[in-house]
Chains A and B, each alone.
Chain A
Amino acid sequence: MSDVAGATTTKRARRQGAGRYGRLGQVVNELDDRLGVAKGGRTFLDKIFPDHWSFMLGEIALYSFLVLLVTGVFLTFYYIPSSALVTYHGPYLPLDGQRVTQAYASTVNLSFSVRAGLLMRQMHHWACDIFVGALVVHMARVFFTGAFRKPRELNWTIGVTLLTLAIANGFLGYSLPDDLVSGTGIRIAYSIMLSIPVVGTYLAFFVFGGNFPGTAIIPRFFILHVLIIPLVILGLVGAHLTLLVRQKHTQFPGPGREENNVVGSPMFPVFMAKTTGYLFAVSGVIALLGAFAQINPIWQFGPYDAARISYAVQPDWYMGFLDGALRIFPSWSFMGFGHTIPFEVTIPAVIFPGIVFGLAYAWPALERRVTGDHAIHHLLDRPSWRPKRTAAGVAVLALLSALFIASSTDVIANFFHLSLNTVLWAMRVIVILSPFVAYPITYKICKELQGVHGAGKRKTPNLVVRTDEGEYVAEPTPAYPEDVLDELEPTPVPTYIEQPEAESTAPGVRVVER
């Protein structure tokens, strides 16, 4: 080994030092001389990733984020963040000759006049909807299996922050085209800021550079959307993954799966192949959605005009729960002492989401306090093993889902030919009841599942055997080995391997120094 590092080593000697691993071995040597990567690199390539399907939900988020970055860079080449007025001339004839903002005109142009522009725009929008969706589902997985417990509270906090940033950036993004629907959304956001007691008007004026709409908002949203927030997201994703590698994966308990180990596939080559394939597959699905499922056709909505509005104004899905809350909340405005507190806006659009996300941030600490469980956990819970936590999570999800449905009261009323009043009151009742119905039902299901023998495991067939006396007996076949909860002894990582005699080294035996 020492002659490899020697300063006088000749090229030939170094090539020989690479041994039987040839040119690649030589590259490894050269790299290790300079960076000392051999040991760490091998540890990294040997990193074990659990094979359970639920661990790939976060990967969907990561890969849709990559698609967002790539398609987003494409869009920035053609989008002009300006609210200056221009006259549109282009292939979309219904708009020809109209005075529109440059933001709107450039978005229509990049959709119709730039090669693959429409595809990239639709992929970008779909990738965003999938990104936020994957974040939510990944978060649910982490929550229901207790993966957020000590020592991973920090990573949970980073994850919740990522979700809020993703939602915020999604809102900024679909506001940029300056079309009629998104412009209405910006106006609502402005009014929500205005509703915050004491500082609301100042906040709204500083964000918008004056009274709504002003000319500052498009360039400001643009720089936030394409630079500042993506940079923060990127940094937090890096931190999220670094912590993941440092703390190693959680895993479900099973044969050989203990608190002190991780069972699965190694980074190289198995996980690398699977995850790269997964990146391709996620991008492929997003591209197919961009090809076949139209999304946000802003040329049909028309340019934003503060005095116009269209029917069925709904935001992107992840903002739906806020819109629903705004719709069903009663008109409880406080007026007195020379001031107004628009509770009909502040409570559903500021305080309520504050409570939901605050609860998400605080949950690991809350659970530690309630259960008194301060131990370190690397083995996951099955949701049914923790009925109260699972029920609480389902209750919150039920509430948010009900609010999401409530964001379509007008469409529901129209579609089912009901009165808006009926739908509104029905949604109020459903929203208030949903968590109280969801909690006990989930709790009960969890308790039942705990009692079912072999729940969560595959059924094995019975073997019908004819005895010597001619009697037929059904005998259960042994359970699948991986379903046996007996704690098998995991093979420990050897700390050393004896160097075999040179002549006895059989081809194919890998010798590792530790």
Chain B
Amino acid sequence: MSDESRTPVALAGLRADDPHLEPSARNPHVVEAVIAALFVVGMACVAGFGAAYWVNAKPWILGATLGGGLLFLGLGLIAWGKYLMPRGPFVEERHPLANDAAEREALAAVLVDRGASVVKRRPLLGGLLGGGMGIFGIVALFPLLRSLGPLPKGTLFHTDWRKGSYLVDQTGRRIHEGDLAVGSIVTVFPEGTENTDRGQAVDQTVLIRLSNFNYVTQKGRATWGPKGYVAYSKLCTHLGCPVGLYEQQLQLLVCPCHQSMFNVTDGAIPTFGPAPRPLPQLPLYIDAQGYLRAQADYDQPVGPGFWERGRS
């Protein structure tokens, strides 16, 4: 192939016998046969897809026939374009997009002389219109922002745990002091919320039995762990995933999302990972019938941090 035939030429005005219009395949008949074979296989696959769809075949058969059909037809078409169509290369001139200085000046003149001067001559009207539009812009945002949801108010600071709330499992059964063996764990909710969205999303609490005797995790929590039962918020203080893994031998609660670890024996202080705060502990007591109940709500917001959250 000579150098000249590889020089890009313009499309317009080419003679029909120009070498640039010849196919690039050295042996077009062979290529044509291969492409024909690709098209035949592609057609067969697409027809097969129709049949497979008709008889409701398994998904992989549907996908194989559809994908195979599209792929073979596509490959054939690509080969047709690449090997049997004018090989080129062709050239197209690129004219500068920019206009000359006079044209630019004319546009600027329209904008400035005809436009800006009008506004400049009537600054009051311009300012008023601008002010009106600006206010409208701000007002238009109100429904978009305000109607989309309620204001947070205090909802992030409280859960549904109350003084005397019974601890129930996900089926609503109250937890009795004899239910858990030492080293066992169960997810509990305040009675009545176990089937609600909010109960599951916010109130979820892990109850762990650490020993048979009153367990004190930290100073000032002398009565919080009756008969070895301690309860922590199940919401990771990092991003609010449920702290769902319990490593019994190391006494760690592990968050599967980002691997924060909390030591349950000393107040769920984070020992590893990105969580910044301990899991809040729920103060418990055991009533006269032996049921586990909450002394009060958590003494701090549960879950991840946010701007309004004051104390640590």
A310 at the interface (CB under 8 A from B): yes
Query: What distance in Å separates the Cβ of B55 from its nearest Cβ neighbour in chain A?
Result: 10
* A256 in contact with B270 given A202-B152, A285-B71, A291-B59 (CB within 8 Å): no
Cβ-neighbour of B148 out of A207, A291, A332 (below 8 A): A207
Q: Are B93 and A273 in contact (CB under 8 A)?
A: no
* A305 in contact with B274 given A46-B12, A46-B92 (CB within 8 Å): no
Known interface pairs A195-B306, A306-B200; 14 further A-B residue pairs with C-beta atoms within 8 A, sorted by A's residue number: A197-B307, A210-B155, A211-B156, A261-B91, A273-B78, A277-B77, A283-B74, A307-B170, A312-B256, A332-B276, A340-B308, A341-B305, A342-B306, A507-B16
Which segment, of A154-162, A165-173, A182-190, A461-469, faces chain B?
Answer: A182-190
Chain A's closest residue to B188 (CB) is A307
Q: How many residues of B contact A (CB 8 A)?
A: 98
Q: How many residues of A contact B (CB 8 A)?
A: 125
Q: Are B91 and A491 in contact (CB under 8 A)?
A: yes
Q: Are B78 and A327 in contact (CB under 8 A)?
A: no
Which residues of B sit under 8 angstroms from A281, Cβ to Cβ?
70-71, 74-75, 78
B120 at the interface (CB under 8 A from A): no
Q: Are B97 and A333 in contact (CB under 8 A)?
A: no
Query: What distance in Å separates the Cβ of A483 from its nearest Cβ neighbour in chain B?
Result: 11
Most A Cβ at <10 Å: residue of B7, B92, B276, B311 = B92
Which residues of B sit under 8 angstroms from A344, Cβ to Cβ?
238, 274-276, 305
Interface residues of A in 306-360 (CB under 8 A from B): 306-313, 323, 326-333, 335, 338-342, 344-345
Q: Are B76 and A256 in contact (CB under 8 A)?
A: no
Which segment, of B60-68, B100-108, B209-217, faces chain A?
Answer: B60-68
Cβ-neighbour of B308 out of A206, A323, A339, A345 (below 8 A): A339
By Cβ-Cβ distance, the 3 closest A-B pairs, closest first, are A291-B63, A280-B74, A284-B71
Chain B's closest residue to A202 (CB) is B152
Q: Are B70 and A195 in contact (CB under 8 A)?
A: no
Please, how many angstroms separate the alpha-carbon atoms of A326 and B276 in the complex? 12
B residues near A (Cβ < 8 Å) are: 3, 6-17, 53, 56, 59-64, 66-82, 85-86, 88-97, 145-146, 148-152, 155-156, 170, 187, 189, 197-198, 200-202, 204, 234, 238-242, 244-245, 256-260, 270, 272-277, 303-312
Which residues of A sit under 8 angstroms from B63, Cβ to Cβ?
119, 122-123, 287-288, 290-292
Q: Are B71 and A493 in contact (CB under 8 A)?
A: no
Interface string of A34-78 (1 = CB under 8 A from B): 000000000000111001000000000000000000000000000
Which residues of B sit under 8 angstroms from A369, Cβ to Cβ?
none
Chain B's closest residue to A493 (CB) is B10
* A280 in contact with B77 given A246-B97, A259-B94, A331-B274 (CB within 8 Å): yes
Most A Cβ at <10 Å: residue of B67, B90, B270 = B67
Q: Are B149 and A205 in contact (CB under 8 A)?
A: yes
Q: Are B306 and A269 in contact (CB under 8 A)?
A: no
Interface string of A267-279 (1 = CB under 8 A from B): 0011111101111
Which residues of B sit under 8 angstroms from A190, Cβ to Cβ?
240
Q: Are B201 and A212 in contact (CB under 8 A)?
A: yes
Query: What distance in Å separates the Cβ of B145 from its nearest Cβ neighbour in chain A?
Result: 6
Cβ-neighbour of B305 out of A151, A187, A333, A512 (below 8 A): A333
Q: Are B69 and A309 in contact (CB under 8 A)?
A: no
Which segment, of A213-221, A223-231, A234-242, A430-438, faces chain B?
Answer: A213-221
Interface string of A496-514 (1 = CB under 8 A from B): 0100000000011111101
A481 at the interface (CB under 8 A from B): yes
Which residues of B sit under 8 angstroms from A494, Cβ to Cβ?
10, 12-13
Query: What distance in Å separates the Cβ of A497 from its nearest Cβ neighbour in chain B?
Result: 5
Q: Are B304 and A194 in contact (CB under 8 A)?
A: yes
Please, how many angstroms separate the alpha-carbon atoms of A188 and B241 in the complex? 7
* A288 in contact with B67 given A308-B242, A342-B276, A510-B14 (CB within 8 Å): yes
Q: Are B149 and A264 in contact (CB under 8 A)?
A: no
Q: Are A331 and B94 in contact (CB under 8 A)?
A: no
Which residues of B sit under 8 angstroms from A330, Cβ to Cβ?
274
Which residues of A sit under 8 angstroms from B76, Cβ to Cβ?
277
Please, how many angstroms separate the alpha-carbon atoms of A321 and B82 in the complex? 39
Interface pairs (29), CB distance under 8 Å: A115-B53, A119-B66, A122-B63, A123-B63, A191-B303, A195-B305, A205-B150, A210-B149, A210-B150, A211-B202, A216-B148, A255-B7, A262-B94, A276-B74, A277-B74, A277-B76, A278-B78, A279-B74, A284-B66, A284-B67, A284-B68, A306-B197, A310-B256, A311-B256, A312-B256, A331-B274, A339-B309, A481-B6, A494-B13
Q: Are A292 and B73 in contact (CB under 8 A)?
A: no
Which residues of A sit under 8 angstroms from B187, Cβ to Cβ?
307
Most A Cβ at <10 Å: residue of B63, B155, B240, B241 = B63
Q: Are B71 and A280 in contact (CB under 8 A)?
A: yes
Which residues of A sit under 8 angstroms from B145, Cβ to Cβ?
202, 206
A389 at the interface (CB under 8 A from B): no
Please, how many angstroms separate the alpha-carbon atoms of A291 and B58 in the complex? 9
Q: Are A340 and B88 in contact (CB under 8 A)?
A: no
Query: What distance in Å separates the Cβ of A246 from its nearest Cβ neighbour in chain B?
Result: 7
Which residues of A sit under 8 angstroms from B241, Cβ to Cβ?
184, 187-188, 309, 313
* A191 in contact with B74 given A247-B97, A256-B7, A292-B64 (CB within 8 Å): no
Please, how many angstroms separate the alpha-carbon atoms of A211 and B235 in the complex? 14
Please, how many angstroms separate the alpha-carbon atoms of A240 and B197 in the complex? 44
Which residues of A sit under 8 angstroms from B310, Cβ to Cβ?
338-340
Q: Are A341 and B307 in contact (CB under 8 A)?
A: yes
Query: What distance in Å separates the Cβ of A245 from its nearest Cβ neighbour in chain B?
Result: 12
Query: What distance in Å separates the Cβ of A30 from its nearest Cβ neighbour in chain B?
Result: 24
Which residues of B sit under 8 angstroms from A510, Cβ to Cβ?
13-16
Q: Are B90 and A265 in contact (CB under 8 A)?
A: yes
Please, how many angstroms separate the alpha-carbon atoms of A333 and B63 in the complex? 49
Q: Are B77 and A326 in contact (CB under 8 A)?
A: no
Most B Cβ at <10 Å: residue of A192, A197, A327 = A327
A135 at the interface (CB under 8 A from B): no
A26 at the interface (CB under 8 A from B): no
A384 at the interface (CB under 8 A from B): no
Q: Are B53 and A248 in contact (CB under 8 A)?
A: no
Query: What distance in Å separates the Cβ of A200 from its nearest Cβ neighbour in chain B?
Result: 5
Q: Are A47 and B92 in contact (CB under 8 A)?
A: yes
Please, how many angstroms separate the alpha-carbon atoms of A247 and B94 in the complex? 9
A446 at the interface (CB under 8 A from B): no
Q: Are B93 and A493 in contact (CB under 8 A)?
A: yes
Please, how many angstroms separate the alpha-carbon atoms of A386 and B74 in the complex? 37
* A291 in contact with B240 given A274-B78, A326-B258, A493-B12 (CB within 8 Å): no
Which residues of A sit under 8 angstroms from B3, Cβ to Cβ?
481
